[in-house]
Amino acid sequence: MARELSDILKELSKKIPKNSYNPVALPKELLEEQTKKNENDCPICGGVGWLRLDVPVDHPNFGKLWPCKCYSKRKEELLRKELEELSNMSHLRQKTFDNFDPSVHPSAATAFEATKQYAENPHGWIMLCGPCGSGKTHLAAAIVNYSISVRQSNSLFMIVPDLLDYLRETFNPKSDITYDERFLMIREVPLLVLDDLGTENATSWAREKLYQLINHRYNSEMPTVITTNQPPEAIDDRIRSRLSDTRLVMHIVLDAPDYRYQQGKHSPTRKSQRKVYAWP
Ligand SMILES: [Zn+2]
């Protein structure tokens, strides 16, 4: 019985097209969903993205799939597209340095100058602390918009609770991109904004992920912008200790009156909710 099976496999492997690249292309008929040819198809794998190794049937790698050279390129493109979609900040798109009014408050003027400089040449971390409506999210969004449109650098703006939801969702087995790839994409993005840190109602899993993300970017000193309206005590101890490192993190406290109220788009935040906490 076993021998018959190996004969069948040998016969099958003879039918698989070979080429100069060591791994051979998979037979098209085995990959129905990807048979649609177009002229951009890779000459090595025919656009399938995967190859199987040209080894005898008794070889341990027989039948194993290997990603083609074109595969990682395609993955990169997928991830870049995903990054763009994720960074689709909708209403935050219009928030730029040009439409921020630094004259509302001296702290807004200081924050404006610092974030503008940072956007031009992002190094280290910036932490924008201040109550709702003080303009910190506007400035954080302006940094990302500047980075994307002027510096043309991959940048990601994420509201922390949304980020954690997103990571949880990526455990979907039908997804084209795995959880690890997504996590890596966010971890390695050249500029990351984490908006509203401390408001997340995180499970221990999510807390751990957030810590891993922040800790990695801290250790690699990757440009990161964090906004919060929370006092230091409200932040996870391990994250707080990284955020308190003044060698890497520039702390900017915004104490401006409710910026959105000024623009007539928002009801004023009650005084009691507008406490300003000192960081670090
Ligand atoms: Zn290929």
pLDDT tens digit string along 50-63?
788 778 888 888 87
Between the CA of 206 and the centroid of ligand 1 the distance, in Å, is: 36
> What are the structure tokens assigned to 36, written together?
């649609």
pLDDT average, residue stretch 245-256:
92
The whole-number pLDDT of residue 38 equals 53
- What is the C-alpha to C-alpha distance for residues 230 and 131, in angstroms, rounded to an integer? 8
Question: Which of 262-279 are b and which e, b meaning 16 or more Cβ less than 10 Å from the residue's Cβ?
Answer: beeeeeebeeeebebeeb
For residue 86, report the distance from its CA to the centre of ligand 1, in Å: 27
pLDDT at 135 over 70: yes
Question: How big is the chain by its Cα radius of gyration, in Å?
Answer: 25
Ligand 1 center to residue 68 CA distance, Å? 5
Lowest mean pLDDT among 15-24, 71-80, 113-122: 15-24
Name every residue whose Cβ is closer than 8 Å to that of residue 209 and which is 6 or more positions away in sequence.
Answer: 164, 167, 183
5 dihedral zone (left: phi>0; alpha: psi -120 to 50; beta) = alpha
Ligand 1 centroid – CA 193 distance (Å): 35
Report phi then psi at 46, rounded to 5: 75, 20
CA distance 241 to 220: 16
Residue 39 has pLDDT above 80, yes or no: no
Most confident of 182-186, 236-240, 264-268: 236-240
Asked whether the predicted pLDDT for residue 10 surpasses 80, the reply is: no
**How far does residue 52's CA lie from ligand 1's centre (Å)?**
12
Tell me the β-bridge partners of 182: none
- Count the neighbouring beta carbons within 10 Å of the beta carbon of residue 99: 10
CA 12/CA 50 separation, integer angstroms:
18
Residue 62, sorted as left (phi over 0), alpha (psi -120 to 50) or beta, turns out to be beta
Asked if 135 contacts 254 with a C-beta cutoff of 8 angstroms, the reply is yes
User: What are 67's strand-pairing partners?
Assistant: 50
Tokens found for residue 100: 């921020």
In this structure, what is the dihedral angle of CA atoms 48, 53, 54, 59, given to the nearest 10 degrees? -150
CA 173–ligand 1 middle distance (angstroms): 24
pLDDT in tens, 189-239: 999 999 999 987 778 888 899 999 999 999 999 999 999 999 888 899 999
Q: How confident is the model at residue 23 (pLDDT cuts 50, 70, 90)?
A: very low
What mean pLDDT is reported for the chain? 79
Domains in the chain and their CATH numbers? 2-67 (no CATH), 80-273 (3.40.50.300)
Which pLDDT tens digit goes with each residue over 162-176? 888 888 776 666 666
- The pocket of ion ligand 1, defined by CB under 5 A, consists of 42, 44-45, 68, 70
pLDDT value at residue 171: 66
